[in-house]
Amino acid sequence: MALRDKISNNFSSMLQPGETVQQVFVGQTKSGWWQAMGLLGLLIARPQMRPVAVTDRRIIVGAGSMWVMSKVNGLVSEHPRSTNLGQPSGLWWRTDALGETLFVHKRFHKDVEAANATIGH
């Protein structure tokens, strides 16, 4: 199963009746540049993954783990669907739009852009 499908499925218990997931992406609480130091960098920085589901009604930020991108351990925050996430750029894009600073890797930039494109639809 593809990563985005796993993330979407792991949010299913948090969805309201009739709510559908439009996009998903993963942010983390520390810059990914710490990973360049390898295991030592991860142990020092201790980044937490934050899977994000953008639905037709809201944006849900989940509690993830340090090791698994697709795991959703609970709810961190939820935001109105009208929230503009910002324009992603660079390798590790920083956003403060979701209640805490998150760093989003370039592999998820197209998902953030797609979420922004469907605001109000």
pLDDT for res 17? 97
Q: Is the pTM of this model over 0.85?
A: yes
Report how far apart the first and last C-alpha atoms of the chain are (Å, whole number).
28
Q: d(Cα 14, Cα 61) in Å, to the nearest integer? A: 11
pLDDT single digits (tens) 60-77: 999 998 778 889 999 999
Strand, coil or helix: 81: coil
Label the pairing between strands 102-105 and 21-28: antiparallel
Pick left, alpha or beta for residue 16 (phi over 0 → left; psi -120 to 50 → alpha; otherwise beta).
Answer: beta
Question: For every one of its 121 residues, what pLDDT tens digit does the chain have, with 9 covering 90 and above?
Answer: 799 999 999 999 999 999 999 999 999 987 765 555 555 555 555 678 999 999 999 999 999 987 788 899 999 999 999 999 999 999 999 999 999 999 999 999 999 999 999 886 5
Domains and CATH numbers, the chain: 3-8+21-64+72-117 (2.30.29)
